[in-house]
């Protein structure tokens, strides 16, 4: 990579670090001090919390195109904004009523001299809304950034129309799929009722009603009767890019050519015909499907979406196989009105590998002019690189990165098909991947804030957030603190991190109140104490979590106390830091004495020693509750004793960390079998857990994209803010690796080649002002900024 690119990446990383600060600089500071002149508006005489889709329009004249024309815009639930017929912004980024985000957009490039129109599609899913969507009531707000732009402020001069073409469909997804599915409804759209071209300047809105004003905007820290408390968006707009469907897998009623999929010819469905067409993207994706049709009055087009197909017994099997299988999934319905060039696009994104069209025409033929997806998601860029002499690792890397990308939007998602919810356990792994592979920490920062904002009165964070349903998972509150620790080690951002100290103390104090003082372990605990979806933990909850004395969760608490102590010490909170150190040591000793089975050489799940799991010993090693001298022996038992309850894909992230802690990281390469097996079953993203799995795309299973860099290449921060680097490779059977990892100050480059069983040739490049050490076969080499070559 050339020097210019390295310098550019350095400045790009700097710009990412303070994207939210730049957003606030773009926003008129008076707005942040609650000097809004616009009003929240809505559609008159509607039930404000019910399902509804609305169109808002404002026509205005300007004598000449300005250099800048900045607006601030938001809505409840969501909006899509158009200027002179062109889409310019979507949002708001998901938050909560205390932190309701608004977007700041310069629309000058879309303006013309003379007449202009700003138009907004606003919708409220009401009781059908996704669980990730928090809401108050239907509303829309647009504020000009300065006096010259205030002619477009929302008030009762804006026109509005209730769109009667829409109604919810596919509202029984969970029942049909026999799974927890909470992403919201599908869209059924009757083209005969839709106001086509409503967003364009030439549209006649004279019959539309005037909007009604409903509330004054209120910025964070202001207001006395807020419906929403406004804060600037702190992440970029989502990416949208064209994606073509790859293959026709099955068709009944009409032949479909590859030229149609390529967008080079249309497809005609004769009148009074029933057609079913199964299309294969060839890989799982997240996109807005876009269907362009002409004619076909009276027809019905059902678009169904699935990650995979199911056989008659409800099994998935190999994801590439379609024979003898059917598509069961969420869907949309579009009913053409017979007009020309009618574009159907659902209000919200869809997840699919397979897309099925079920079409019934009436008296008029239907012409499908085009069908494609607009891929969408957080605009991560793959700035890291990894290659080795084992080409099969490249496929794991590619599929893992796709998994991570599909699980990142305005928040991180646990899975894009079923939930689209942001959980701390998933998000910790996703955040590490984001910073190691993309070098982009903006969504990480938002996630840390989201969980901080989610805290309940007793001190814990919610297990997932944003969420319109309460769910508390106490172990996930601990992972939030681990996320703070990860970020602290990887980014120099002291003021941002310091705001979390009080919340961290609240979580740790909650746990301290649960301690069984006799056994020096955690006692009985309320809420859902999820650890891992392994078969030996009913509903993911380990022995002792509910009735007391779980070694797994006690040791996770110890692990978190140890991390927290380092952070509090850094911030000169010496009393708290020492307390956490002492408490961690006390609980580590207590758990070891109560639960370690000397004969088996592993940690039991509870003091009764009647159940064992990999998880207990993993945490015992990570916390050093199990003495260092016994780590290798215990780790050997963990890896080879089939009687231990196994860690699934998610908890294998911590299995890898324990292998590293035990000095056995070289075994990581040989323990990639679960990911290799997933690829053999045709998965194009990594699944939630071993089959039978619900989700075929689950963020926590993408951990190899972190571990290839942090374990195989061994690149880790050794001082807060990534100020120093420790590189301790674990090649296993690999002979050669080559990697690039983005760093806040540039790039870390690592090229490693074995020269014999133990010898190594290395070429390492560190960014300016970064130092570190390289460790191989118990030998250390001091690293300095710039490139260095050496042999060991």
271 burial class (0-12, 13-18, 19+ CB within 10 angstroms)? Answer: middle
Contacts of residue 69, defined as CB under 8 A and 6 or more positions apart, other chains included, come to 106, 107, 108, 111, 148, 149
If one looks up domain 514-671 in CATH, what number appears? 1.50.10.10
pTM for the whole thing?
A: 0.96
User: What is the per-residue pLDDT for 23?
Assistant: 57
Between CA 654 and CA 425 the distance in angstroms is 11
User: What is the per-residue pLDDT for 457?
Assistant: 97
pLDDT value at 18 more than 70: no
Q: What is the pLDDT of residues 358-388, one digit of tens each?
A: 999 999 999 999 999 999 999 999 999 999 9
Average pLDDT in the 310-323 region?
Answer: 97
Higher-confidence position of 6 and 578: 578
**Mean pLDDT over the full length of the chain:** 96
For 79, 81, 317, the CA distances from 168, given in Å and listed in that order, are 17, 22, 32
- Mean pLDDT check: name the lowest of 17-21, 149-153, 189-193, 404-408: 17-21
CB atoms within 10 A of CB 709: 26
User: What is the per-residue pLDDT for 24?
Assistant: 60
pLDDT value at 4 more than 90: no
Buried-state track 523-547, b at ≥16 Cβ within 10 A, e below 16: bebebbbbbbbbebbeebbbbbbee
If one looks up domain 24-163+194-232 in CATH, what number appears? 2.60.120.260
Whether the CA torsion 196, 198, 201, 205 is positive or negative: it is positive
User: What is the per-residue pLDDT for 16?
Assistant: 40
Same fold, 24-163+194-232 and 239-377: yes
Is domain 239-377 in CATH 3.40.50.1110, yes or no?
A: no
Q: What's the CA angle centered on 381, arms 428 and 72, to 5 degrees?
A: 85
Average pLDDT in the 434-462 region?
Answer: 98
pLDDT value at 1 more than 70: no
pLDDT-based confidence at residue 513 (cuts at 50, 70, 90) = very high
pLDDT value at 19 more than 70: no
Is 413:421 a contact under the CB 8 Å cutoff? yes
Average pLDDT in the 129-141 region?
Answer: 98
pLDDT value at 17 more than 50: no
For 547, 548, 558, 625, 630, the CA distances from 596, given in Å and listed in that order, are 19, 16, 16, 9, 11
Contacts of residue 691, defined as CB under 8 A and 6 or more positions apart, other chains included, come to 315, 316, 681
pLDDT value at 20 more than 70: no
For 97, 385, 491, 669, the CA distances from 742, given in Å and listed in that order, are 35, 9, 12, 23
pLDDT value at 22 more than 70: no
Buried-state track 272-295, b at ≥16 Cβ within 10 A, e below 16: ebebbbbbbbebbbbbbbebbbbb
Phi, psi of 203 (to 5 degrees): -70, 140
Q: Which residue has the tokens 């210019």?
A: 4
Q: Which residue has the tokens 């590490």?
A: 432
User: What is the per-residue pLDDT for 13?
Assistant: 40
User: What is the per-residue pLDDT for 21?
Assistant: 54
**Domain layout of the chain by residue ranges:** 24-163+194-232, 239-377, 514-671
pLDDT value at 27 more than 80: yes
Rg (CA), the chain: 28
Between CA 531 and CA 523 the distance in angstroms is 16
Q: What is the pLDDT of residues 279-307, one digit of tens each?
A: 999 999 999 999 999 999 999 999 999 99
404 burial class (0-12, 13-18, 19+ CB within 10 angstroms)? Answer: buried
User: What is the per-residue pLDDT for 38?
Assistant: 98
pLDDT-based confidence at residue 683 (cuts at 50, 70, 90) = very high
What would the two tokens of residue 686 be?
């990594």
pLDDT-based confidence at residue 756 (cuts at 50, 70, 90) = confident
Q: What is the pLDDT of residues 581-624, one digit of tens each?
A: 999 999 999 999 999 999 999 999 999 999 999 999 999 999 99
Q: Among residues 517, 537, 515, 533, which one has the least CA distance to residue 525?
A: 515
């Amino acid at each position: 990579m050339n020097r210019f690119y390295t310098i550019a990446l350095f400045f790009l990383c700097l710009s990412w670090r303070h994207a939210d600060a730049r957003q606030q600089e773009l926003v008129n500071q008076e707005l942040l001090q609650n000097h809004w002149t616009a009003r929240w508006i809505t559609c008159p005489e509607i039930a404000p919390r019910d399902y509804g889709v609305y169109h808002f329009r404002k026509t205005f004249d300007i004598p000449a195109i300005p250099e800048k024309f900045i607006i601030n815009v938001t809505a409840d639930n969501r909006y899509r904004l158009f200027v002179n017929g062109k889409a310019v912004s979507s949002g708001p980024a998901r938050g909560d009523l205390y932190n309701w985000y608004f977007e700041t957009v310069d629309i000058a490039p879309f303006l013309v001299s003379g007449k202009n129109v700003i138009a907004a599609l606003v919708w409220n899913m009401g009781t059908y809304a996704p669980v990730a969507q928090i809401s108050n009531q239907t509303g829309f707000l647009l504020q000009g950034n300065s006096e010259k732009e205030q002619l477009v402020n929302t008030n009762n001069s804006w026109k509005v129309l209730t769109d009667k073409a829409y109604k919810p469909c596919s509202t029984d997804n969970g029942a049909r799929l026999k799974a927890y599915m909470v992403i919201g409804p599908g869209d059924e759209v009757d083209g005969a009722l839709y106001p086509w071209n409503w967003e364009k300047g030439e549209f006649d809105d004279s019959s539309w009603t005037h909007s009604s004003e409903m509330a004054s905007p209120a910025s964070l820290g202001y207001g006395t009767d807020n419906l929403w408390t406004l804060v600037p968006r702190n992440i970029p707009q989502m990416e949208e890019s064209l994606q073509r469907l790859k293959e026709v897998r099955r068709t009944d009623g009409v032949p479909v050519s590859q030229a149609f999929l390529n967008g080079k010819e249309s497809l005609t469905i004769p009148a009074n015909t029933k057609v079913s067409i199964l299309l294969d993207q060839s890989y799982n994706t997240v996109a807005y499907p876009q269907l362009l049709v002409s004619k076909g009055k009276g027809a019905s087009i059902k678009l169904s979406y699935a990650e995979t197909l199911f056989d008659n017994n409800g099994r998935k099997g190999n994801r590439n196989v379609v024979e003898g299988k059917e598509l069961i999934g969420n869907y949309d319905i579009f009913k053409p009105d017979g007009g020309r060039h009618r574009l159907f696009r659902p209000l919200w994104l869809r997840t699919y590998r397979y897309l099925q069209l079920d079409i019934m025409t009436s008296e008029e033929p239907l012409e499908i002019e085009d069908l494609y997806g607009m891929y969408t998601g957080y605009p991560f860029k793959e700035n890291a690189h990894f290659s080795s002499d084992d080409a099969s690792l490249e496929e794991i890397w590619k599929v893992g990165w796709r998994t991570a990308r599909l699980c990142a939007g305005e928040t991180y998602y646990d899975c894009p098909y079923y939930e689209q919810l942001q959980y701390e356990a998933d998000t910790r792994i996703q955040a590490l991947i984001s910073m190691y592979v993309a070098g982009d920490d903006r969504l990480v920062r938002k996630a840390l804030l989201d969980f901080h904002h989610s805290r309940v009165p007793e001190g814990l964070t919610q297990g997932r957030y944003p969420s319109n349903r309460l769910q508390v998972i106490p172990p996930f509150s601990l992972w939030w603190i681990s996320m703070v620790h990860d970020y602290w080690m990887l980014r120099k951002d002291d003021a941002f991190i310091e705001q979390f100290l009080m919340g961290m103390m609240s979580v740790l104090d909650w746990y301290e109140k649960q301690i069984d003082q006799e056994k020096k372990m955690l006692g009985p605990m309320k809420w859902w104490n999820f650890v891992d979806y392994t078969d030996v933990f009913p509903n993911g909850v380990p022995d002792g979590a509910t009735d007391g004395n779980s070694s797994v969760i006690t040791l996770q608490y110890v692990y978190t106390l140890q991390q927290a102590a380092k952070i509090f010490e850094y911030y000169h909170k010496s009393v708290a830091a020492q307390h956490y150190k002492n408490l961690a040591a006390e609980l580590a000793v207590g758990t070891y004495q109560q639960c370690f089975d000397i004969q088996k050489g592993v940690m039991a799940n509870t003091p009764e020693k009647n159940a064992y799991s990999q998880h207990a010993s993993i945490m015992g090693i990570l916390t050093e509750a199990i003495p260092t001298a016994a780590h290798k022996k215990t780790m050997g038992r963990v890896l080879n004793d089939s009687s231990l309850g196994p860690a699934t894909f998610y908890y294998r992230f911590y299995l890898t960390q324990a292998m590293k802690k035990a000095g056995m990281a070289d075994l990581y390469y040989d323990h990639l079998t679960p990911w290799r097996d997933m690829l053999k079953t045709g998965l194009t993203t990594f699944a939630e857990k071993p089959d039978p799995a619900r989700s075929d795309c689950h963020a926590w299973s993408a951990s190899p994209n972190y571990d290839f860099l942090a374990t195989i290449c061994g690149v880790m921060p050794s001082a807060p803010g990534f100020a120093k680097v420790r590189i301790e490779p674990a090649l296993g059977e690999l002979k050669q690796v080559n990697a690039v990892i983005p760093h806040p100050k540039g790039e870390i480059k690592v090229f490693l080649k074995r020269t014999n069983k133990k010898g190594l040739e290395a070429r390492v490049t560190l960014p300016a002002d970064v130092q570190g050490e390289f460790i191989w076969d118990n030998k250390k080499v001091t690293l300095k900024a710039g490139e260095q070559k050496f042999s060991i």
